[in-house]
Chain A
């Protein structure tokens, strides 16, 4: 279970560039929840993920993972329980190293001086074949030679190699072509359901925000302005969401990409 209590973060405080990125955010995500997050650019969606991961120290408030206060825990230590995928498929893997070597680091088994064993290799091969991309026959190739979709699929596999408590997806299919995006999304759903991972997914596609998962958050100017689940959410349409945005934020949705999401 992931819990945020009164989390605040302001960038460049006391300067003309001051930006209140997160304002008093409180949020509880029970195990197995799949939450989609929407909001205009600059609403604080990625900053929220950074706060959860520990990419920076939050100004006030606390973050709990399974009841443990991890507010001051360094990012790389939290990473044992939190997996994260970015929009940029290049961010999740080391391009100069082979698929096998990337997986070995993600698996993180054995001591510092251990090497990739035949058993490890077989385990990687089995996992890779689940992707259905033929990567299991290219394990010695540098990751830099893979396509964006293949790299994102590999990153997904790496982030969930040991199922994390929480998986954060920051528009992880937005940079992929529609076919590949569909495939990566289906993989994501399988892995999340199979391992009962709590999942938060940022998307600009409002339809998929409603189609995927069991709960939707809407963010605006550093706040969660709408949190919907259950019966109410089941009846929602994209038009309802844009209406809701207008009434709750007092502004029209001015984001091209979100509107494109409407058209799709």
Chain B
């Protein structure tokens, strides 16, 4: 591989990593902070992509970003309402909304499974036009993603330090304590999921615009990919570190994930393996620490059995 090729590979990985990074930041808020595993992520990602694509095709590329965020927010509100006010278990609420969103997305696109945006002006093509004839012309997509990611991280860092942000974090850490601080955990869960899903929607919107294509299944497995990235990020920046570092770690995790994936593709791994790889990463990251703790016990059980003790005693 030539240096040029490696660089372009790294650049694409960084671009896509940062697009996915927004979904990872969304899970950073819902999974790490609010302690809710939001399984509506896949559908919400596609929803953001659909809304973003439609608004961009209608000729309003800048409006597509807030529109996708708003759509995500509504989806998050529905998920939150189901689990906090209607007695649906948290995981089930996500699954149900995810299923329903498929129809919503199809309805939005007018029963079309794909929307081509080859000639559609998007935030990326606009940035490219803007940077034409400057030294950064080749890096316009990277630059757009860098700016957006930076803005989102700054927002999250500010938000999570406000009273509302503190209350959301406390809801995930100890809901009893939130109640005794005279704050309604139903409210904090709702706000948390709205903000988190707004980021997922934004992520989907940017993915469709970057790929110049919307596809109804583009979000499938996204929650696992994002969770894998989040857990990889956790390897770089441990829990109990300052939030800005952890947020940067989350995005870094997404970029590393994309980088490893791009390399694997280079070495002829078929593209359909992406989801298996992310599933294995999630399994390793979550069950690894558990198995490491179990291993010495298994050894002791084995030794005790050898000395005549019943293995199941």
* Chain A residues near B (Cβ < 8 Å): 74-77, 79-80, 83-84, 90-97, 101-102, 104-106, 108, 110-116, 142, 144-145, 158-159
- B164 surroundings in chain A (CB, below 8 A): 112-113
Contact B163 A112 (CB under 8 A): yes
Closest chain-A Cβ to B230's Cβ sits at a distance in Å of 16
Contact B184 A74 (CB under 8 A): yes
- In angstroms, Cα B177 to Cα A93, docked, is 6
- In angstroms, Cα B240 to Cα A97, docked, is 8
Q: Select one of B163, B173, B179, B185 contacting A97, CB under 8 A.
A: B173
Task: Classify the secondary structure of A's interface with B.
Answer: mixed
Contact B174 A115 (CB under 8 A): no
Contact B239 A105 (CB under 8 A): no
- A145 surroundings in chain B (CB, below 8 A): 240
Report if B134 contacts A (CB, 8 A): no
Report if B162 contacts A (CB, 8 A): yes
Report if B69 contacts A (CB, 8 A): no
- Kindly identify, within residues 123 to 175 of chain B, every residue whose CB is under 8 Å from any CB belonging to chain A: 161-164, 166-167, 169-170, 172-174
Instruction: From known contacts A76-B184, A77-B182, A108-B182, infer whether A94 and B173 are also in contact, taking CB-CB under 8 Å.
Output: yes
- In angstroms, Cα B164 to Cα A112, docked, is 5
Contact B181 A79 (CB under 8 A): yes
Contact B163 A115 (CB under 8 A): yes
Contact B163 A94 (CB under 8 A): no
- In angstroms, Cα B178 to Cα A93, docked, is 9
Contact B177 A94 (CB under 8 A): yes
- A95 surroundings in chain B (CB, below 8 A): 173-174
- In angstroms, Cα B180 to Cα A108, docked, is 11
Q: Select one of A83, A101, A111, A114 contacting B180, CB under 8 A.
A: A83
Contact B179 A105 (CB under 8 A): no
Interface centre among A79, A92, A104, A112 (most CB of B within 10 A): A112
- A97 surroundings in chain B (CB, below 8 A): 166, 169-170, 173
Contact B182 A80 (CB under 8 A): yes
Q: Select one of B178, B179, B239 contacting A96, CB under 8 A.
A: B239
Contact A116 B161 (CB under 8 A): yes
- In angstroms, Cα B169 to Cα A108, docked, is 15
Contact A159 B162 (CB under 8 A): no
Closest chain-A Cβ to B19's Cβ sits at a distance in Å of 28
Knowing that A108-B181, A158-B180 touch, tell me 11 more A-B residue pairs with CB under 8 angstroms: A76-B179, A76-B183, A77-B182, A92-B180, A93-B174, A94-B169, A94-B178, A96-B239, A106-B181, A142-B240, A159-B180
